[in-house]
Amino acid sequence: MAAAGLTITDVRKQYLRFSTPYQMITEQVIYLGGTRRPRSVQDLQAGRLEVMAGSSHQRTLEVLKKRYPKLEWQALDLDIETLLQRIEAKQSNYTVTDSNQFATLRRFYPRLKIAFDLTEPEPLAWAFSKNHDATLYKEAEKFFQHIRQNRILDQLLDQYYGHVDALGYVDIFTFHRHVKERLPKYRAYFEQAARQFGWDWRLLAAIAYQESHWNNNAKSPTGVRGIMMLTLQTAKHIRTKNRLDPKQSIPGAARYLAQIKARIPARIAEPDRTWLTLAAYNIGFGHLEDARVLTQSTGGNPDRWIDVKKHLPLLTQKKWYSKVKHGYALGHEPVRYVENVRNYYDLLVRLTDGPISRKKQMPNRTTIPGRPKAKMPETTPAAL
């Protein structure tokens, strides 16, 4: 069997047996922002187009060439990320990638943009040889039926794609600038606090960036202050005397996060446990519990972030907040908060570990962003 983001094509169906699709994608043309945007296949003839050799993208171009005889491309034995890097370096003009791949990579290459969809939506599935009996194929079908019914598939898709569109072009460029200009001043404090309280220092740094953009003198209209934007009440609770002192506020926030996480029911697994912790850090543990109550009352799973984040915004509506203990809350804010932190965390992991294409192994960073574990192969829904 093969599980590698394979699209179901007529050619492949001749010699492969495909499972039930698990995701729909489109093939997209990618170009460098600030240069001439191609708006059709005919426009691709004016630049250098590179694709992965032997890919479905190459097959698509071969079909299109029958309609556009002047269409030319280079089929290279390179992965998609290297092809994107070549566009950014102006070594080529265009490439073709699957929409799910670019959705996760575009944060790391914010200058690259989608020109247009090259195909209609296509299904991704697992592939099996037709030369063997159907035993394994039937077991795979049972597996897909199970993960659909139990919403495990929805959870996986949210884990890898649910937050990737939260940041805009300006957000990402500003972040990269602040990584160079501001982060070095505080990195040692994040690393020390992470070791002390069992966190990944990059997650603490991502939280701090979402809170203050690593501005130690930050202050909000409501009176929260410092790099971790602690309230006066929280600072007293964690015995942080000076919120403007990063030596105090960063470990104080790390301690407070650990306290919140300890209150999350032990049955809740990662990564939901961490995302719920972040939501509570932003909106308060009581309001998070209210959202979990609403989630359960409407048939959702209160232990899954994918369900809870849909119900947090209901806390702004009297119809719903009147039914719970802690009342009204700006429920949209923790949803944006968690998604932004997840993005900043991914970016920091990327900057410290390097591009996936340059490493044989990467930590499964989207699974458990706590204390760093032994490195494991990167896992995505393409290889479920």
How far apart are alpha carbons 250 and 228 in whole angstroms?
A: 6
Q: Are residues 217 and 75 in the same domain?
A: no
DSSP string of 142-161?
HHHHHHHHTTHHHHHHHHHH
Show the tokens assigned to 32. 């460098």
pLDDT number for residue 352:
87
Q: Are residues 177 and 325 in the same domain?
A: yes
CB 131 within 8 Å of CB 356: no
Asked whether residue 248 is domain-assigned, the answer is yes
Residue 218 burial (CB count, 10 A): 18
CATH code (residue 110): 3.40.190.10
Same domain, 145 and 180: no
Q: Is residue 349 part of a domain?
A: no
- 327-338 pLDDT, tens digit per residue, is 999 999 999 999
Q: Which of 91, 121, 156 is the endpoint of a domain?
A: 156
pLDDT digits over 143-177, tens only? Answer: 999 999 988 898 888 878 877 777 777 888 899 99
Please report where in the chains the tokens 């990402």 appear, as a residue: 172
- Name the burial class of residue 149, with classes exposed (0-12), middle (13-18) and buried (19+) by CB atoms within 10 angstroms of its CB: exposed
Q: What mean pLDDT do residues 355-381 have?
A: 39
Between the CA of residue 350 and those of 346, 347, 366, 367, what are the distances in Å? 6, 5, 12, 15
By mean pLDDT, which of 114-118, 295-299, 365-369, 379-383 is the weakest? 379-383
Q: Give the tokens for residue 115.
A: 């020109």
For residue 184, give the H/E element and its range: helix 183-197
Q: Which pLDDT value is given to residue 361? A: 35
Catalytically active residues, by annotation: 211
pLDDT value at position 363?
A: 34
Is 358 a domain residue? Answer: no
Neighbours of 268 (CB within 10 A): 19
CA dist 207 and 278 (Å) reads 8
Per-residue pLDDT reduced to its tens digit, 70-81: 999 999 999 999
Residues spanned by the domain of 67: 2-156
**pLDDT tops 60 at residue 262:** yes
Element (H, E) at 68: none
Structurally, the chain folds into a number of domains equal to: 2
- Please report whether residue 384 resides in a domain: no
The enclosing domain of 187 has a CATH number of 1.10.530.10
Could you tell me if 104 and 241 lie in one domain? no
Helix (H) / strand (E) containing 124:
strand 122-129
Long-range contacts of 357-364 (CB under 8 A, 24+ apart): 357/79, 357/81, 357/82, 357/85
